[in-house]
Amino acid sequence: MLGIKNQGTGTLRVMELFAGVGGFRQGLEQVRTPAQQAAFKVVWANQYEPASKKQWAAEVYRARWGVQDLVNEDIFEVLQEPALMASLDALCPDVLVGGFPCQDYSVAKPLSHSQGLQGDKGVMWWAVSRMLQARRAAGAPLKYLVLENVDRLLSSPAT
């Protein structure tokens, strides 16, 4: 289970950034503790594609899991909205998962064309960083961070 130990404290509450159609959620919500209770529960998700008028991934996510915990807004705007952040605080998340857009880090591009943290999609890393800082500032730092494994993430060619 990715080295994450629930330590008998019940179900870990998950917030999902760049949720797409819910791949992380699909996997996490299948995991059971030895007592057969859910090990993870997604309590908040964000999916927004700024370049698209039609939010296809968000529509698929809603069709699968409903609308109660999906925020389909630009994550940087969410991070600036006190009411949305307060509602997130009330959910007491333990875990942040994210499959953020990786085109600017991908090894599918030659290194000379990779834009890393400065690319149009690469800047999404800063949303993860800001969310972690916001949780710490709220006095409730996240216990775990699980990100999609993307080559060049830790060695971004553009800084």
Q: Which residues are catalytic?
A: 102
Nearest-Å Rg of the Cα atoms of the chain is 16
Alpha-carbon span 16 to 24, nearest angstrom: 8
Kind and range of the H or E element at 19?
none
Residue 7 tokens, joined: 């330590």
Owner of token pair 């030659």? 110
